Chains A and B, each alone.
Chain A
Amino acid sequence: MATSNMKTGKLPLEGIRVLDSTYVFALPYAGGLLADMGAEVIKVEGPGRPDVTRTGGYSGVFAENDLGEDWWNRPSTYNLIHRGKQSITLDMTDERGRELFKELVMVSDVVMENFTPRVMRSWGLDYPNLRKLRPDVILVSNTGYGHGDGPYSGYPAQATTQEATHGHCWITGYPPGHPNEGPAKAGASFVDFLSTWTALFAIGAALRYRARTGLGQWVDMGMYQSGVMFLSEYVLDAIANGREGGRIGNRHPWRAPQGCYPAAGDDQWITLSVGDDSQWRSLCEVMGQPELASDPRFSAIGGRRQNHDALDEVIAAWTSTRDRYDTMHALQAVGIPAGPVLTGRDIHYDPHFKSRNFLERVKYPPERQMGERMFLSRPYKFSKSPLHIQGPSPAFGGHNEPALRELLGVSDEAYRQLVEDVVITTVPTTGEPSPVVPQAEALERGIIAAWDPDYLKRLGLA
């Protein structure tokens, strides 16, 4: 029974159906990656509860800054995360919505949810109840602090605020004594992705176990655990040595010099990291200052760490007039780790990412009015099962008919009633598009750093 709807195929997850009742970034992105691996992923949203990647501040930007006729299907973040999925709507506050959800559970191998523990229990959709519907189901729950009776288990949480609680902000920031010092955040919503990848690992392992034993189980993830795990060496240093870590900016705990230095051009940067004395001598050679290698301030690692500020000035004077890529190639040629700070624009043109097809092109059907777009794919390649984004993101409720009528066999009459009562829909009943700011104005206001008006042509998307 465990393998009733499983057939082997070219992709790792062919024949696996995933019911994806998750919101925001962490598990929804896992759903998109499961689709890349060949799973059939059905995303469920409430008619009045569209995903926040469609509405508000999490949605990114709209294709061509144009709301089109269906703005809720056009945001950039929504389209990256939900690639290759099907979309259905179900009002879970309606008895019929919950019943249909349960019927979908019965035909799904994996169910993913990120409601608060209280909500799933009150709907009878917690693991003990889901198991009654589908004994071998693999349920994946993601919450900020994990289920259970811990003091924070009921606390609301999202990645931005959790990055502080996890300790990441404590070790990130311009170092003390420098302007703008103090704990800082890195990137955007960083710890969400730790849950994304943890979910993939857990699902792969649980599916393998189910294939061998016929048994499903409950994967209970708390984002907090992933975040703290990624700080293991700091926590152990505190436990064993009483040390509190802290912020060292762009420097390395033991290598020197290391930093992010200005390069020729506006807001262009190059990073480099020197470990041992032989790399230090090579750096001096490449900089055309071989005499510096024997400067007693810098010749040994201890001195380089102690005189790091002075060393930074020497290096910055050299890098600031040079092209960042030229500096990378020159340093890498002698074995010194170095690389430019790449932006969201740069990655589309960098020869390495291009040669690995790291950004994949996705074509939309004409009615979506989205043409073709490029998206982050995956950070790994499989030699015998080449993975690809399987298709564009779905339109809101775009698969209500096939999923409910064909898969579950809902009658014509009942389906009409569901539409009439807005238990299902293709137009969200709540939510507003995030404000559209014309690019020229956004540039002036510092909301964006740069703008290529001819981006579609440059990318070959027009």
Chain B
Amino acid sequence: MPHGPLDGVKVLDLSEDIAGSFCGRLLADYGADVLKLEPPTGAALRRMPPFFGDDPHPEKSLFFLAMNLNKKGATVNLKTGAGRQLLKELIPHIDVVVESYKPGYLEDLGLGYEALESINPGLVMTSITPFGQTGPYSQYAGEEIVNYAMGLIMSISGQQGREPLKHGGFQAQYEGGLNGAAATAMALFMQGNTGEGQHIDVSITECVASTMMATQTMYPFIGATQPRRRPSGSNFGHPMPCEDGWIIVQTGGGATWETIANFFRDPRLHEERFTDTAERNRNGEELDRIVLESISERGKWDLFTEAANSRMLFGLVQTPSELAECPQLDSRDFYRDVDHPVIGKIKVPAVLFNLSLTPYQYLMPAPTLGQHNREIYLEGLGYSQQDLVLLRQTDSI
């Protein structure tokens, strides 16, 4: 049985960060053979929290674990001539390089796209960086908050009169990884048809901005800028506190206003100042008071089920531990049990989407540092045990 739709694709993942690693992992999840190539000191992601048991051991970063499932791992030091030689010897055997170094770094080492493509015509190289390979900010340093600020989303997040608000976590980095995987899959399809490779230039900031459909188009359509949320007015579409947490409700979908009014069990909601859409917007503050009172003694799970039965668009704010124990995710086999040589057994978010013929397969945990050096260099490239010792002595692997 093939491992996935990308069965047979061979990938070198040179990335040390979240975005490139996530890209490589998605390729691995759907069938590609992915080799993580790290510097001898380990990828930067190995030093990122959270750690298993809060122990900052290089093999215990849960972030590294999650982003590197299903990959093999070897080390190479691109700062040494012997290390660069190793990479060049691997290139003829592979289809895709994923990397996230500062633009120009690999070129300066003689390992840019043109140099590698001359070794292997048809090579696809996917570079994922904060601002892309070109343009005045290409050499600028990125961080999640900066990607968010320059990707427009902060300008409409948070409230008017306060500072713009960043989305929690590392969404921008994941977005860069997912777009990198999508572009790589398209390039691989084309490569299969024409034999032609590509250098793909992914900008993480542009990934964030790509979600800003209404925000961007408002300017060339009416010359206006979208604001952040007003501090008062209707909370519909925003989290509202209930007895034991927060819920969120939207109009639309399969539910009429009458259904929604019944759901909140207050006769005032059937009055015309709420049944009429425009009137409802004008009476947002009063609407909030009624709704918040109505849900103040009702639990989020009961509300969630009842709303679904009424065909309402409704969500509840779940916490990470609730997500970890979610029956819906279990019904989709979203989590997979991983047995890691240092961490031990742990379940990990695994399946991005389901495929009928070549489904997701869990094959192996994230690699330990240099775990597959022997397999790659001895068996793969034909180096001798003595060569490996020498490469280690010169800090090349």
Contacts and interface: CB of A to CB of B under 8 A. Distances in A.
- A in complex with B: yes
A310 interface: no
B116 to A, nearest CB: 12
24 contacts: A60-B214, A80-B217, A153-B331, A156-B308, A173-B168, A179-B162, A184-B157, A185-B248, A186-B171, A197-B182, A204-B182, A208-B188, A212-B192, A222-B353, A232-B348, A238-B321, A339-B146, A344-B216, A355-B134, A376-B213, A379-B203, A380-B203, A380-B206, A382-B199
B223 A451 contact: yes
Interface string A337-368: 11111111111101111011011000000000
Nearest to B333: A148
B123 to A, nearest CB: 11
Interface stretch (B72-80, B83-91, B237-245): B237-245
B218 A448 contact: yes
A455 B223 contact: yes
Contacts of A79: 217
Contacts of A332: 137, 140-141
Given A381-B200, A435-B278, A220 B354 contact: yes
Interface in B102-129: 113
Contact of A186 (B53, B165, B226): B165
Interface in B26-43: 26, 30-31
A232 B308 contact: no
B149 A260 contact: yes
Given A180-B231, A340-B150, A375-B216, A273 B143 contact: yes
Given A182-B241, A240-B53, A385-B190, A148 B332 contact: yes
B210 A376 contact: yes
Contacts of B316: 164-165
B363 interface: no
B328 A153 contact: yes
Interface stretch (A87-95, A248-256, A295-303, A421-429): A248-256
A225 interface: yes
Given A165-B318, A208-B188, A341-B164, A201 B182 contact: yes
B230 A446 contact: yes
B262 interface: no
A448 B320 contact: no
Interface in B306-346: 308, 311-324, 326-332, 334, 343, 346
With a 10 A CB-CB cut-off, give which of B319, B347, B358 has the most chain A CB atoms. Answer: B319
A387 B258 CA distance: 48
How big is chain A's contact interface, by range?
35 or more
Contact of B30 (A77, A183, A205, A244): A205
A420 to B, nearest CB: 31
Given A161-B249, A190-B153, 6 more contacts: A148-B331, A156-B314, A243-B320, A337-B142, A376-B216, A381-B133
Interface residues of B, number: 159
A160 B65 CA distance: 30
Given A61-B218, A343-B226, A258 B355 contact: no
B220 interface: yes
B118 to A, nearest CB: 14
Interface stretch (A5-13, A99-107, A283-291): A5-13
Interface string A227-271: 011111111111111111101111011110011111000000111
A249 B29 CA distance: 33
B206 A451 contact: no
Contacts of A177: none
Interface stretch (A62-70, A399-407, A409-417): A62-70
A393 B30 CA distance: 33
B320 A238 contact: yes
B152 interface: yes
A346 B253 CA distance: 34
B5 to A, nearest CB: 4
Contacts of B187: 12, 382
Given A165-B318, A217-B358, A269-B149, A205 B352 contact: no
B342 to A, nearest CB: 13
B299 interface: no
B171 to A, nearest CB: 6
Given A164-B246, A225-B332, A340-B149, A356 B237 contact: no
B163 A250 contact: yes
Given A167-B323, A446-B160, A382 B183 contact: yes
Interface string B191-206: 0111011111111101
B141 A337 contact: yes
A355 B157 contact: no
B49 A384 contact: no
B318 to A, nearest CB: 5
Contacts of B190: 8, 12-13, 385
Interface string A298-332: 00000000000000000000000000000010001
Interface string A176-194: 0001101111111110111
Given A209-B7, A212-B192, A355-B136, A217 B329 contact: no
B213 to A, nearest CB: 5
B212 A202 contact: no
Contacts of B252: 56-57, 158
A359 to B, nearest CB: 7
A258 to B, nearest CB: 6
B356 interface: yes
Contacts of B383: none
B169 interface: yes
B356 A342 contact: no
B220 A461 contact: yes
A276 to B, nearest CB: 12
B208 to A, nearest CB: 8
A375 B217 contact: yes
Given A226-B352, A235-B320, A341 B194 contact: no
A250 B237 contact: no
A85 interface: no
Contacts of A146: 328, 332, 354
B164 A174 contact: no
A348 B5 contact: no
With a 10 A CB-CB cut-off, give which of A204, A254, A452 has the most chain B CB atoms. Answer: A204
B185 A230 contact: no
A255 B47 CA distance: 13
A149 interface: yes
A194 B317 contact: no
A151 B226 contact: no
Contacts of A57: 252
B63 to A, nearest CB: 5
A190 B285 CA distance: 25
A5 to B, nearest CB: 13
A379 B5 contact: no
With a 10 A CB-CB cut-off, give which of B176, B200, B210 has the most chain A CB atoms. Answer: B210
Contacts of B318: 164-167, 170
Given A164-B248, A182-B241, A186-B153, A37 B186 contact: yes
Nearest to B147: A339
B247 interface: yes
A408 interface: no
Contacts of B70: none
B46 to A, nearest CB: 13
B145 interface: yes
Given A79-B217, A239-B347, A452-B223, A180 B230 contact: no
